[in-house]
Protein backbone atom coordinates (compact mmCIF):
# COMPACT_ATOMS: atom_id res chain seq x y z
CA UNK A 1 0.00 0.00 0.00
CA UNK A 2 1.37 3.41 -0.96
CA UNK A 3 0.94 5.77 1.99
CA UNK A 4 1.64 8.81 -0.12
CA UNK A 5 -1.81 8.94 -1.65
CA UNK A 6 -5.10 10.61 -0.86
CA UNK A 7 -8.32 8.65 -1.23
CA UNK A 8 -11.43 9.99 -2.91
CA UNK A 9 -12.79 10.75 0.56
CA UNK A 10 -9.70 12.77 1.39
CA UNK A 11 -10.02 14.79 -1.79
CA UNK A 12 -13.70 15.37 -1.06
CA UNK A 13 -12.91 16.74 2.40
CA UNK A 14 -10.17 18.96 0.99
CA UNK A 15 -12.34 20.39 -1.78
CA UNK A 16 -15.14 21.07 0.70
CA UNK A 17 -12.63 23.07 2.73
CA UNK A 18 -11.46 24.90 -0.39
CA UNK A 19 -15.03 25.75 -1.43
CA UNK A 20 -15.93 26.98 2.07
CA UNK A 21 -12.87 29.25 2.33
CA UNK A 22 -13.20 30.58 -1.21
CA UNK A 23 -16.97 31.17 -0.86
CA UNK A 24 -16.60 32.87 2.50
CA UNK A 25 -13.80 35.02 1.15
CA UNK A 26 -15.91 36.02 -1.85
CA UNK A 27 -18.84 36.82 0.45
CA UNK A 28 -16.63 38.99 2.68
CA UNK A 29 -15.25 40.73 -0.39
CA UNK A 30 -18.70 41.48 -1.85
CA UNK A 31 -20.22 42.47 1.51
CA UNK A 32 -17.40 44.74 2.65
CA UNK A 33 -16.00 45.82 -0.71
CA UNK A 34 -16.33 49.45 -1.65
CA UNK A 35 -15.67 50.46 -5.24
CA UNK A 36 -14.05 53.64 -3.94
CA UNK A 37 -12.04 51.87 -1.24
CA UNK A 38 -8.85 53.62 -0.26
CA UNK A 39 -5.45 51.98 -0.44
CA UNK A 40 -5.29 51.86 3.37
CA UNK A 41 -8.65 50.11 3.41
CA UNK A 42 -7.40 47.52 0.92
CA UNK A 43 -4.01 46.88 2.53
CA UNK A 44 -5.01 47.29 6.19
CA UNK A 45 -8.77 46.57 6.32
CA UNK A 46 -8.93 49.89 8.16
CA UNK A 47 -11.34 49.71 11.09
CA UNK A 48 -13.16 46.57 9.94
CA UNK A 49 -11.35 43.67 11.69
CA UNK A 50 -12.65 42.51 15.07
CA UNK A 51 -10.37 41.42 17.94
CA UNK A 52 -10.94 37.74 17.21
CA UNK A 53 -10.25 38.23 13.50
CA UNK A 54 -7.00 40.09 14.32
CA UNK A 55 -5.87 37.37 16.76
CA UNK A 56 -6.73 34.54 14.39
CA UNK A 57 -5.04 36.29 11.47
CA UNK A 58 -1.86 36.84 13.51
CA UNK A 59 -1.64 33.13 14.27
CA UNK A 60 -2.65 32.03 10.77
CA UNK A 61 0.06 34.21 9.28
CA UNK A 62 2.64 32.92 11.76
CA UNK A 63 1.77 29.21 11.77
CA UNK A 64 2.78 28.03 8.34
CA UNK A 65 4.92 25.35 6.78
CA UNK A 66 7.94 26.34 8.85
CA UNK A 67 5.81 25.73 11.96
CA UNK A 68 4.03 22.52 11.03
CA UNK A 69 6.95 21.04 9.13
CA UNK A 70 9.99 22.89 10.41
CA UNK A 71 9.05 23.01 14.09
CA UNK A 72 7.92 19.39 14.12
CA UNK A 73 11.22 18.48 12.47
CA UNK A 74 13.13 20.42 15.12
CA UNK A 75 11.04 18.72 17.83
CA UNK A 76 12.00 15.36 16.30
CA UNK A 77 15.66 16.33 16.67
CA UNK A 78 15.81 18.41 19.87
CA UNK A 79 12.48 17.90 21.64
CA UNK A 80 10.27 20.22 23.68
CA UNK A 81 12.95 22.94 23.86
CA UNK A 82 11.89 24.23 20.45
CA UNK A 83 8.61 25.27 22.15
CA UNK A 84 10.51 28.22 23.56
CA UNK A 85 9.78 30.07 20.31
CA UNK A 86 6.05 29.62 20.97
CA UNK A 87 5.91 30.24 24.72
CA UNK A 88 8.29 33.19 24.71
CA UNK A 89 6.24 34.62 21.84
CA UNK A 90 3.15 34.61 24.08
CA UNK A 91 4.85 36.99 26.55
CA UNK A 92 6.33 38.99 23.66
CA UNK A 93 2.85 39.57 22.24
CA UNK A 94 1.76 41.03 25.57
CA UNK A 95 4.77 43.41 25.52
CA UNK A 96 4.00 44.43 21.92
CA UNK A 97 0.35 45.09 22.79
CA UNK A 98 1.29 47.29 25.77
CA UNK A 99 4.30 49.23 24.45
CA UNK A 100 4.56 48.97 20.64
CA UNK A 101 1.05 49.13 19.21
CA UNK A 102 0.07 52.33 21.09
CA UNK A 103 3.10 54.11 19.60
CA UNK A 104 2.16 53.03 16.07
CA UNK A 105 -1.51 53.95 16.42
CA UNK A 106 -0.92 57.26 18.25
CA UNK A 107 1.43 58.39 15.49
CA UNK A 108 -0.83 57.05 12.71
CA UNK A 109 1.81 54.65 11.42
CA UNK A 110 0.60 51.98 8.99
CA UNK A 111 3.82 50.50 7.63
CA UNK A 112 7.25 49.89 9.11
CA UNK A 113 9.09 52.03 6.50
CA UNK A 114 6.61 54.84 7.27
CA UNK A 115 7.71 54.65 10.91
CA UNK A 116 11.36 54.96 9.87
CA UNK A 117 10.56 57.89 7.55
CA UNK A 118 8.63 59.69 10.26
CA UNK A 119 11.18 58.97 13.00
CA UNK A 120 14.46 59.23 11.05
CA UNK A 121 14.38 60.22 7.38
CA UNK A 122 13.42 59.07 3.90
CA UNK A 123 16.82 57.51 3.17
CA UNK A 124 16.60 55.12 6.12
CA UNK A 125 13.00 54.30 5.23
CA UNK A 126 13.76 53.58 1.56
CA UNK A 127 16.80 51.41 2.33
CA UNK A 128 14.77 49.35 4.80
CA UNK A 129 11.74 49.11 2.49
CA UNK A 130 13.93 47.59 -0.24
CA UNK A 131 15.65 45.37 2.29
CA UNK A 132 12.35 44.09 3.72
CA UNK A 133 11.10 43.25 0.24
CA UNK A 134 14.22 41.16 -0.40
CA UNK A 135 14.02 39.48 3.01
CA UNK A 136 10.33 38.64 2.71
CA UNK A 137 10.72 37.20 -0.78
CA UNK A 138 14.11 35.47 -0.56
CA UNK A 139 13.84 34.06 2.97
CA UNK A 140 10.19 33.95 4.02
CA UNK A 141 8.12 33.52 0.87
CA UNK A 142 10.55 31.03 -0.62
CA UNK A 143 10.79 28.94 2.57
CA UNK A 144 7.03 28.86 3.08
CA UNK A 145 6.49 27.73 -0.51
CA UNK A 146 9.25 25.13 -0.51
CA UNK A 147 8.57 23.59 2.92
CA UNK A 148 4.84 23.74 2.30
CA UNK A 149 5.14 22.01 -1.04
CA UNK A 150 7.47 19.42 0.51
CA UNK A 151 4.78 18.57 3.07
CA UNK A 152 1.89 18.55 0.60
CA UNK A 153 3.91 16.38 -1.78
CA UNK A 154 4.84 14.00 1.02
CA UNK A 155 1.19 13.45 1.93
CA UNK A 156 -0.48 13.51 -1.48
CA UNK A 157 2.24 12.00 -3.65
CA UNK A 158 1.91 14.92 -6.08
CA UNK A 159 5.04 16.30 -7.72
CA UNK A 160 6.66 18.96 -5.50
CA UNK A 161 6.91 21.44 -8.38
CA UNK A 162 3.17 21.12 -9.05
CA UNK A 163 2.49 21.61 -5.32
CA UNK A 164 4.51 24.85 -5.31
CA UNK A 165 2.39 26.26 -8.14
CA UNK A 166 -0.94 25.12 -6.66
CA UNK A 167 -0.15 26.66 -3.27
CA UNK A 168 0.84 29.94 -4.89
CA UNK A 169 -2.35 30.06 -6.98
CA UNK A 170 -4.56 29.27 -3.98
CA UNK A 171 -2.93 32.00 -1.89
CA UNK A 172 -3.20 34.50 -4.77
CA UNK A 173 -6.98 33.98 -4.85
CA UNK A 174 -7.17 34.87 -1.15
CA UNK A 175 -4.66 37.74 -1.26
CA UNK A 176 -6.19 39.63 -4.17
CA UNK A 177 -9.28 40.29 -2.05
CA UNK A 178 -7.27 42.50 0.29
CA UNK A 179 -6.67 42.44 4.04
CA UNK A 180 -10.41 42.15 4.85
CA UNK A 181 -10.66 38.85 3.01
CA UNK A 182 -7.35 37.62 4.47
CA UNK A 183 -8.33 38.57 8.01
CA UNK A 184 -11.75 36.92 8.03
CA UNK A 185 -10.83 33.80 6.06
CA UNK A 186 -7.93 33.33 8.49
CA UNK A 187 -10.51 32.61 11.20
CA UNK A 188 -11.56 29.49 9.27
CA UNK A 189 -7.95 28.65 8.48
CA UNK A 190 -6.96 28.78 12.17
CA UNK A 191 -9.91 26.63 13.22
CA UNK A 192 -9.01 24.00 10.62
CA UNK A 193 -5.27 24.00 11.36
CA UNK A 194 -5.84 23.70 15.13
CA UNK A 195 -8.26 20.82 14.58
CA UNK A 196 -5.88 19.09 12.19
CA UNK A 197 -2.91 19.61 14.51
CA UNK A 198 -4.80 18.17 17.48
CA UNK A 199 -5.70 15.15 15.36
CA UNK A 200 -2.02 14.56 14.57
CA UNK A 201 -1.17 14.68 18.28
CA UNK A 202 -4.05 12.33 19.06
CA UNK A 203 -2.87 9.86 16.43
CA UNK A 204 0.73 9.95 17.62
CA UNK A 205 -0.09 9.38 21.30
CA UNK A 206 -2.63 6.67 20.45
CA UNK A 207 -0.06 4.84 18.31
CA UNK A 208 2.46 4.93 21.16
CA UNK A 209 -0.01 3.54 23.66
CA UNK A 210 -1.06 0.76 21.27
CA UNK A 211 2.56 -0.22 20.65
CA UNK A 212 2.97 -0.75 24.40
CA UNK A 213 -0.25 -2.75 24.70
CA UNK A 214 -2.32 0.00 26.33
CA UNK A 215 -4.87 2.53 25.16
CA UNK A 216 -5.65 6.19 25.69
CA UNK A 217 -4.07 9.59 25.21
CA UNK A 218 -2.85 9.85 28.79
CA UNK A 219 -1.05 6.51 28.60
CA UNK A 220 0.50 7.54 25.31
CA UNK A 221 1.83 10.75 26.84
CA UNK A 222 3.20 8.88 29.86
CA UNK A 223 5.05 6.50 27.53
CA UNK A 224 6.37 9.42 25.48
CA UNK A 225 7.59 11.26 28.56
CA UNK A 226 9.22 8.21 30.16
CA UNK A 227 10.90 6.79 27.04
CA UNK A 228 11.94 10.11 25.47
CA UNK A 229 13.01 11.92 28.62
CA UNK A 230 15.89 13.61 26.83
CA UNK A 231 13.29 15.33 24.61
CA UNK A 232 11.50 17.02 27.52
CA UNK A 233 14.02 19.65 28.61
CA UNK A 234 13.56 23.34 27.85
CA UNK A 235 17.07 24.51 28.75
CA UNK A 236 20.08 22.77 27.17
CA UNK A 237 23.46 22.36 28.80
CA UNK A 238 26.60 23.09 26.83
CA UNK A 239 27.34 19.41 26.14
CA UNK A 240 23.98 18.99 24.38
CA UNK A 241 24.44 18.53 20.59
CA UNK A 242 21.58 21.00 20.02
CA UNK A 243 23.17 23.74 22.10
CA UNK A 244 24.14 25.72 19.00
CA UNK A 245 20.44 26.13 18.13
CA UNK A 246 19.16 26.81 21.66
CA UNK A 247 22.08 27.90 23.85
CA UNK A 248 21.00 27.39 27.45
CA UNK A 249 19.75 30.43 29.35
CA UNK A 250 20.02 32.61 26.26
CA UNK A 251 16.50 31.47 25.42
CA UNK A 252 15.32 33.27 28.56
CA UNK A 253 17.67 36.24 28.96
CA UNK A 254 19.43 36.61 25.59
CA UNK A 255 18.89 36.60 21.86
CA UNK A 256 15.48 34.91 21.96
CA UNK A 257 13.98 38.22 23.11
CA UNK A 258 15.48 39.99 20.10
CA UNK A 259 14.12 37.33 17.76
CA UNK A 260 10.60 37.57 19.19
CA UNK A 261 10.38 41.32 19.76
CA UNK A 262 11.69 42.03 16.26
CA UNK A 263 9.32 39.49 14.69
CA UNK A 264 6.16 40.47 16.55
CA UNK A 265 6.79 44.18 17.04
CA UNK A 266 8.85 45.44 14.08
CA UNK A 267 7.54 43.24 11.29
CA UNK A 268 5.10 44.55 8.68
CA UNK A 269 3.93 41.02 8.02
CA UNK A 270 2.65 40.71 11.61
CA UNK A 271 1.80 44.18 12.87
CA UNK A 272 -0.21 44.94 9.73
CA UNK A 273 -3.10 42.96 11.20
CA UNK A 274 -3.48 45.38 14.11
CA UNK A 275 -2.52 48.70 12.51
CA UNK A 276 -5.94 49.32 11.00
CA UNK A 277 -7.85 48.88 14.30
CA UNK A 278 -8.36 51.05 17.36
CA UNK A 279 -6.15 50.43 20.41
CA UNK A 280 -8.67 48.42 22.43
CA UNK A 281 -9.48 46.11 19.51
CA UNK A 282 -5.83 45.71 18.53
CA UNK A 283 -4.80 44.84 22.08
CA UNK A 284 -7.66 42.37 22.45
CA UNK A 285 -6.65 40.63 19.22
CA UNK A 286 -2.99 40.44 20.20
CA UNK A 287 -3.87 39.02 23.65
CA UNK A 288 -6.08 36.40 21.96
CA UNK A 289 -3.11 35.47 19.76
CA UNK A 290 -0.94 35.14 22.90
CA UNK A 291 -3.36 32.57 24.35
CA UNK A 292 -3.39 30.66 21.05
CA UNK A 293 0.43 30.66 21.11
CA UNK A 294 0.36 28.71 24.38
CA UNK A 295 -1.52 25.95 22.57
CA UNK A 296 0.81 25.71 19.56
CA UNK A 297 3.36 23.22 21.03
CA UNK A 298 0.55 20.68 21.44
CA UNK A 299 -0.13 21.04 17.73
CA UNK A 300 3.34 21.35 16.18
CA UNK A 301 5.86 20.10 18.77
CA UNK A 302 4.23 17.09 20.40
CA UNK A 303 3.76 15.25 17.06
CA UNK A 304 7.48 15.72 16.29
CA UNK A 305 8.55 14.24 19.64
CA UNK A 306 6.13 11.34 19.19
CA UNK A 307 7.44 10.74 15.67
CA UNK A 308 10.96 10.56 17.14
CA UNK A 309 9.97 7.81 19.58
CA UNK A 310 8.00 5.94 16.91
CA UNK A 311 11.06 6.18 14.66
CA UNK A 312 13.16 4.67 17.44
CA UNK A 313 10.63 1.83 17.61
CA UNK A 314 11.08 1.01 13.93
CA UNK A 315 8.53 3.21 12.13
CA UNK A 316 8.96 5.81 9.35
CA UNK A 317 12.51 4.75 8.40
CA UNK A 318 11.75 4.72 4.70
CA UNK A 319 9.29 7.63 4.76
CA UNK A 320 11.74 9.94 6.56
CA UNK A 321 14.71 9.30 4.32
CA UNK A 322 15.72 11.97 1.85
CA UNK A 323 16.49 11.20 -1.78
CA UNK A 324 20.08 10.45 -0.81
CA UNK A 325 19.08 8.26 2.12
CA UNK A 326 19.77 10.85 4.85
CA UNK A 327 17.33 11.14 7.76
CA UNK A 328 15.24 14.26 7.09
CA UNK A 329 13.52 15.65 10.23
CA UNK A 330 11.32 17.85 8.03
CA UNK A 331 9.42 14.70 7.00
CA UNK A 332 8.33 13.82 10.55
CA UNK A 333 4.95 15.54 10.40
CA UNK A 334 3.95 14.36 6.89
CA UNK A 335 5.00 10.79 7.77
CA UNK A 336 2.73 10.87 10.80
CA UNK A 337 -0.25 12.23 8.88
CA UNK A 338 0.11 9.50 6.28
CA UNK A 339 -1.10 7.01 8.91
CA UNK A 340 -4.46 8.71 9.33
CA UNK A 341 -7.56 6.94 7.94
CA UNK A 342 -9.36 8.19 4.86
CA UNK A 343 -11.30 11.39 5.49
CA UNK A 344 -9.30 12.37 8.55
CA UNK A 345 -6.19 12.42 6.39
CA UNK A 346 -8.00 14.80 4.05
CA UNK A 347 -8.91 17.06 6.96
CA UNK A 348 -5.31 17.16 8.18
CA UNK A 349 -4.19 17.78 4.61
CA UNK A 350 -6.62 20.70 4.52
CA UNK A 351 -5.26 21.97 7.85
CA UNK A 352 -1.72 21.92 6.56
CA UNK A 353 -2.77 23.65 3.36
CA UNK A 354 -4.68 26.23 5.41
CA UNK A 355 -1.55 27.09 7.38
CA UNK A 356 0.56 27.43 4.25
CA UNK A 357 -1.96 29.45 2.27
CA UNK A 358 -2.78 31.82 5.15
CA UNK A 359 0.89 32.56 5.71
CA UNK A 360 1.60 33.02 2.00
CA UNK A 361 -1.38 35.36 1.65
CA UNK A 362 -0.30 37.47 4.60
CA UNK A 363 3.28 37.67 3.41
CA UNK A 364 2.31 38.56 -0.17
CA UNK A 365 -0.04 41.28 1.09
CA UNK A 366 2.73 42.80 3.24
CA UNK A 367 5.13 42.75 0.28
CA UNK A 368 2.53 44.54 -1.84
CA UNK A 369 1.85 47.06 0.93
CA UNK A 370 5.50 48.04 1.35
CA UNK A 371 6.18 48.20 -2.37
CA UNK A 372 3.05 50.20 -3.17
CA UNK A 373 2.87 52.64 -0.25
CA UNK A 374 6.52 53.00 0.70
CA UNK A 375 8.39 52.69 -2.60
CA UNK A 376 6.08 53.43 -5.52
CA UNK A 377 4.06 56.22 -3.92
CA UNK A 378 7.05 57.80 -2.18
CA UNK A 379 9.74 57.55 -4.86
CA UNK A 380 8.12 56.80 -8.21
CA UNK A 381 4.65 58.36 -8.41
CA UNK A 382 3.65 60.50 -5.43
CA UNK A 383 0.49 61.64 -7.23
CA UNK A 384 -0.86 58.12 -7.77
CA UNK A 385 -4.57 57.73 -7.02
CA UNK A 386 -5.89 55.21 -4.51
CA UNK A 387 -7.43 53.17 -7.31
CA UNK A 388 -4.08 52.94 -9.07
CA UNK A 389 -2.34 51.98 -5.83
CA UNK A 390 -4.83 49.18 -5.17
CA UNK A 391 -4.42 47.83 -8.72
CA UNK A 392 -0.64 48.04 -8.42
CA UNK A 393 -0.88 46.21 -5.10
CA UNK A 394 -2.69 43.32 -6.79
CA UNK A 395 -0.03 43.16 -9.49
CA UNK A 396 2.66 43.21 -6.80
CA UNK A 397 1.04 40.20 -5.13
CA UNK A 398 1.27 38.18 -8.33
CA UNK A 399 4.86 39.24 -9.03
CA UNK A 400 5.95 38.42 -5.45
CA UNK A 401 4.40 34.95 -5.62
CA UNK A 402 5.98 34.32 -9.03
CA UNK A 403 9.41 35.27 -7.63
CA UNK A 404 8.77 32.99 -4.66
CA UNK A 405 8.00 30.12 -7.03
CA UNK A 406 11.15 30.67 -9.07
CA UNK A 407 13.37 30.88 -5.97
CA UNK A 408 11.76 27.77 -4.48
CA UNK A 409 12.48 25.88 -7.66
CA UNK A 410 16.07 27.11 -7.92
CA UNK A 411 17.49 27.16 -4.40
CA UNK A 412 14.87 25.82 -1.98
CA UNK A 413 16.27 22.30 -1.87
CA UNK A 414 19.87 23.48 -1.68
CA UNK A 415 19.17 25.61 1.40
CA UNK A 416 16.56 23.54 3.25
CA UNK A 417 16.63 20.04 1.89
CA UNK A 418 18.69 16.93 2.61
CA UNK A 419 18.09 16.63 6.34
CA UNK A 420 18.45 20.28 7.32
CA UNK A 421 16.01 21.87 9.76
CA UNK A 422 13.92 24.35 7.78
CA UNK A 423 12.75 26.24 10.87
CA UNK A 424 16.31 26.81 12.09
CA UNK A 425 17.34 27.98 8.61
CA UNK A 426 14.72 30.72 8.76
CA UNK A 427 15.64 31.78 12.30
CA UNK A 428 19.38 31.92 11.69
CA UNK A 429 19.34 33.82 8.42
CA UNK A 430 16.73 36.30 9.63
CA UNK A 431 19.00 36.74 12.67
CA UNK A 432 21.69 38.31 10.50
CA UNK A 433 19.64 41.50 10.29
CA UNK A 434 17.11 41.48 13.13
CA UNK A 435 19.49 42.78 15.88
CA UNK A 436 20.25 45.96 13.92
CA UNK A 437 16.61 46.47 12.97
CA UNK A 438 15.42 45.99 16.53
CA UNK A 439 18.07 48.39 17.89
CA UNK A 440 16.95 50.99 15.35
CA UNK A 441 13.30 50.56 16.35
CA UNK A 442 13.68 50.36 20.11
CA UNK A 443 15.88 53.47 20.32
CA UNK A 444 13.61 55.18 17.83
CA UNK A 445 10.67 54.51 20.14
CA UNK A 446 12.05 55.50 23.48
CA UNK A 447 15.12 57.73 22.90
CA UNK A 448 14.35 60.96 21.11
CA UNK A 449 18.03 61.76 20.56
CA UNK A 450 18.69 58.78 18.24
CA UNK A 451 19.64 60.15 14.82
CA UNK A 452 19.26 58.93 11.26
CA UNK A 453 23.01 58.37 10.92
CA UNK A 454 22.85 56.11 13.95
CA UNK A 455 19.95 54.23 12.40
CA UNK A 456 21.93 53.66 9.21
CA UNK A 457 24.81 52.35 11.31
CA UNK A 458 22.52 49.82 13.01
CA UNK A 459 21.08 48.68 9.68
CA UNK A 460 24.38 48.17 7.87
CA UNK A 461 26.66 47.62 10.84
CA UNK A 462 24.36 45.03 12.38
CA UNK A 463 24.61 42.89 9.25
CA UNK A 464 28.39 43.29 9.09
CA UNK A 465 28.81 42.37 12.77
CA UNK A 466 26.60 39.28 12.26
CA UNK A 467 28.72 38.14 9.32
CA UNK A 468 31.89 38.72 11.35
CA UNK A 469 30.73 36.59 14.28
CA UNK A 470 29.54 33.90 11.88
CA UNK A 471 32.64 33.71 9.66
CA UNK A 472 35.54 34.82 11.84
CA UNK A 473 36.22 31.39 13.47
CA UNK A 474 37.71 30.41 10.10
CA UNK A 475 40.34 33.12 10.40
CA UNK A 476 40.56 34.24 14.05
CA UNK A 477 41.03 32.29 17.29
CA UNK A 478 37.94 33.08 19.37
CA UNK A 479 38.94 30.95 22.34
CA UNK A 480 38.56 34.00 24.59
CA UNK A 481 34.82 33.74 23.91
CA UNK A 482 34.70 30.07 24.95
CA UNK A 483 32.55 30.72 28.04
CA UNK A 484 29.89 32.02 25.67
CA UNK A 485 30.60 30.02 22.55
CA UNK A 486 30.56 26.46 21.41
CA UNK A 487 33.71 24.57 20.42
CA UNK A 488 33.97 22.01 17.66
CA UNK A 489 36.72 20.17 15.84
CA UNK A 490 37.30 21.05 12.21
CA UNK A 491 39.76 20.07 9.49
CA UNK A 492 41.81 23.03 8.25
CA UNK A 493 44.87 22.63 6.04
CA UNK A 494 44.97 18.89 6.82
CA UNK A 495 45.12 19.64 10.57
CA UNK A 496 42.42 19.12 13.13
CA UNK A 497 41.85 22.38 15.00
CA UNK A 498 39.34 23.56 17.58
CA UNK A 499 37.11 26.41 16.45
CA UNK A 500 34.84 28.47 18.64
CA UNK A 501 31.49 29.13 17.06
CA UNK A 502 28.94 31.40 18.64
CA UNK A 503 25.34 30.10 18.74
CA UNK A 504 23.26 32.35 16.53
CA UNK A 505 21.01 33.46 19.41
CA UNK A 506 24.08 34.56 21.38
CA UNK A 507 25.46 36.18 18.26
CA UNK A 508 22.25 38.19 17.95
CA UNK A 509 22.61 39.36 21.54
CA UNK A 510 26.22 40.50 21.00
CA UNK A 511 25.33 42.28 17.76
CA UNK A 512 22.34 44.03 19.34
CA UNK A 513 24.53 45.39 22.17
CA UNK A 514 27.13 46.61 19.66
CA UNK A 515 24.42 48.29 17.57
CA UNK A 516 22.97 50.07 20.61
CA UNK A 517 26.43 51.26 21.70
CA UNK A 518 27.23 52.41 18.16
CA UNK A 519 23.90 54.24 17.84
CA UNK A 520 24.48 56.00 21.16
CA UNK A 521 27.97 57.17 20.20
CA UNK A 522 26.96 58.33 16.71
CA UNK A 523 23.88 60.12 18.04
CA UNK A 524 25.99 61.97 20.61
CA UNK A 525 28.45 63.01 17.87
CA UNK A 526 25.56 64.19 15.68
CA UNK A 527 24.09 66.21 18.54
CA UNK A 528 27.43 67.93 19.08
CA UNK A 529 27.33 68.86 15.38
CA UNK A 530 23.77 70.18 15.70
CA UNK A 531 22.13 67.28 13.83
CA UNK A 532 18.75 66.23 15.25
CA UNK A 533 15.78 64.13 14.15
CA UNK A 534 12.08 64.05 14.86
CA UNK A 535 10.88 62.21 17.93
CA UNK A 536 7.55 60.42 18.18
CA UNK A 537 4.49 61.52 20.11
CA UNK A 538 4.72 59.44 23.29
CA UNK A 539 3.25 59.93 26.74
CA UNK A 540 2.81 57.61 29.69
CA UNK A 541 -0.97 57.40 29.36
CA UNK A 542 -0.56 55.51 26.06
CA UNK A 543 0.69 52.44 27.92
CA UNK A 544 -2.20 52.13 30.36
CA UNK A 545 -4.32 49.01 29.88
CA UNK A 546 -7.78 47.88 30.92
CA UNK A 547 -8.25 45.57 33.89
CA UNK A 548 -9.45 42.81 31.58
CA UNK A 549 -6.32 43.02 29.44
CA UNK A 550 -4.09 43.14 32.52
CA UNK A 551 -5.76 40.03 33.95
CA UNK A 552 -5.31 38.17 30.66
CA UNK A 553 -1.66 39.26 30.42
CA UNK A 554 -0.97 38.00 33.97
CA UNK A 555 -2.60 34.64 33.14
CA UNK A 556 -0.45 34.24 30.00
CA UNK A 557 2.71 35.11 31.92
CA UNK A 558 1.84 32.78 34.78
CA UNK A 559 1.23 29.85 32.44
CA UNK A 560 4.56 30.40 30.67
CA UNK A 561 6.46 30.58 33.97
CA UNK A 562 4.75 27.38 35.14
CA UNK A 563 5.61 25.53 31.92
CA UNK A 564 9.29 26.45 32.15
CA UNK A 565 9.33 25.44 35.82
CA UNK A 566 7.85 22.02 35.02
CA UNK A 567 10.03 21.21 32.00
CA UNK A 568 13.26 22.97 33.01
| Chain segment 226-257, per-residue pLDDT in tens | 888 889 988 888 888 888 888 888 888 888 89
| Chain segment 114-139, per-residue pLDDT in tens | 888 888 988 888 888 888 888 888 77
Q: Measured between alpha carbons, how far is residue 442 from residues 121, 263, 453, 464 in Å?
A: 16, 13, 15, 20
Cβ neighbour number for residue 409 with a 10 Å cutoff: 17
Q: Measured between alpha carbons, how far is residue 297 from residues 60, 187, 462 in Å?
A: 15, 19, 31
What pTM value is reported for the model? 0.82
- Is the distance from CB of 242 to CB of 73 less than 8 angstroms? no
Architecture, CATH, for domain 8-31+54-431+538-567: Up-down Bundle (1.20)
Q: Domain locations in the chain?
A: 8-31+54-431+538-567
325 — pLDDT class (breaks 50, 70, 90)? low
Using DSSP's 3-state secondary structure scheme, residue 75 falls into: helix
Radius of gyration from C-alpha coordinates of the chain: 23
Q: Count Cβ neighbours within 10 Å for each residue of 99-131 and write b for 16 or more, e otherwise.
A: bbbbbbbeeebbbbbbbbbbbbbbebbbbbbbb
Q: Decide if pLDDT at 77 tops 70.
A: yes
Q: Measured between alpha carbons, how far is residue 207 from residues 151, 200, 441 in Å?
A: 21, 11, 48
**Can you give the pLDDT at residue 177?**
63
CA–CA dist 542, 552 (Å, integer)? 19
9 — pLDDT class (breaks 50, 70, 90)? confident
Q: Decide if pLDDT at 4 tops 60.
A: no
| Chain segment 152-203, per-residue pLDDT in tens | 887 777 888 888 898 888 888 777 666 666 666 667 777 777 777 788 888 8
| Chain segment 340-357, per-residue pLDDT in tens | 777 778 877 887 787 788
| Secondary structure E strands in 136-225 | none
What stretch of H or E contains 492?
A: strand 486-492
87 — pLDDT class (breaks 50, 70, 90)? very high
Q: Measured between alpha carbons, how far is residue 331 from residues 68, 119, 209, 328, 422 in Å?
A: 10, 45, 22, 6, 11
Mean pLDDT value of segment 5-27: 80
Q: Shortest CA distance to 507 belongs to which of 266, 247, 236?
A: 247
Pairing of strands 495-501, 486-492: antiparallel
Cα 61-362-12 angle, rounded to 5 deg: 75
| Chain segment 477-486, per-residue pLDDT in tens | 555 555 555 5
**Can you give the pLDDT at residue 114?**
85
**Can you give the pLDDT at residue 440?**
93
**Can you give the pLDDT at residue 142?**
82
Using DSSP's 3-state secondary structure scheme, residue 536 falls into: coil
| Chain segment 405-464, per-residue pLDDT in tens | 888 777 655 554 444 555 666 677 778 888 999 999 999 888 888 999 999 999 899 989
CA–CA dist 509, 21 (Å, integer)? 42
**Can you give the pLDDT at residue 419?**
47
What is residue 502's DSSP assignment?
A: -
| Chain segment 252-297, per-residue pLDDT in tens | 888 889 989 988 888 876 677 677 678 898 899 999 999 999 988 9
Residues shown for the chain: 568
Mean pLDDT value of segment 74-86: 89
Q: Measured between alpha carbons, how far is residue 112 from residues 117, 129, 519 in Å?
A: 9, 8, 19
**Can you give the pLDDT at residue 324?**
65
pLDDT, averaged across the chain: 80
What stretch of H or E contains 499?
A: strand 495-501
**Can you give the pLDDT at residue 125?**
87
End-to-end C-alpha distance for the chain, whole angstroms: 42
For 495, list phi and psi in degrees, rounded to 5: -125, 140
CA–CA dist 194, 18 (Å, integer)? 17
Q: Shortest CA distance to 361 belongs to which of 189, 198, 195?
A: 189
CA–CA dist 337, 198 (Å, integer)? 11
| Chain segment 486-532, per-residue pLDDT in tens | 555 454 444 444 556 778 888 888 899 999 999 999 999 999 998 87
Name the percent of the chain lying above pLDDT 90.
15
44 — pLDDT class (breaks 50, 70, 90)? low
Task: Say which range, 90-104, 258-272, 384-398, 422-436, has the weakest mean pLDDT.
Answer: 422-436
Q: Measured between alpha carbons, how far is residue 545 from residues 222, 240, 446, 561 in Å?
A: 41, 42, 19, 22
Mean pLDDT value of segment 203-212: 83
CA–CA dist 321, 455 (Å, integer)? 46
Decide which of 79 and 178 is more confident. Answer: 79
Task: Say which range, 66-75, 90-99, 549-558, has the weakest mean pLDDT.
Answer: 66-75
Decide which of 489 and 93 is more confident. Answer: 93
Amino acid sequence: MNLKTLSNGDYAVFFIYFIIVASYGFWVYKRKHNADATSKDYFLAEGSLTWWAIGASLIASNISAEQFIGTSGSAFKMGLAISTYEWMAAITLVIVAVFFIPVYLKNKIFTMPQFLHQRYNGTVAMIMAIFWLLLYIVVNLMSILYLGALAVSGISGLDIHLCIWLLAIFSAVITLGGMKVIGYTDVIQVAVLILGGLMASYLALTLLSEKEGTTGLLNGFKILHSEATDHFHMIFKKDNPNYMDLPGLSVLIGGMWITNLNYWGCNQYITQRALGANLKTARGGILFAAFLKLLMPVIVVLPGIAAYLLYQKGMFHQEMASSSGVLDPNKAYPSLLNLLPSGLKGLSFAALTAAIVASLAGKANSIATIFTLDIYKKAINPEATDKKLVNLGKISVLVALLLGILLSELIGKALMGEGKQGFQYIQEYTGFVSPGIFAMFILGFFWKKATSNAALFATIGGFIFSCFFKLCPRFIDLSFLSPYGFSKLALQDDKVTKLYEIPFLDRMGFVFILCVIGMYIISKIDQARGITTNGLEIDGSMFKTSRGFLAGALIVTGIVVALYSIFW
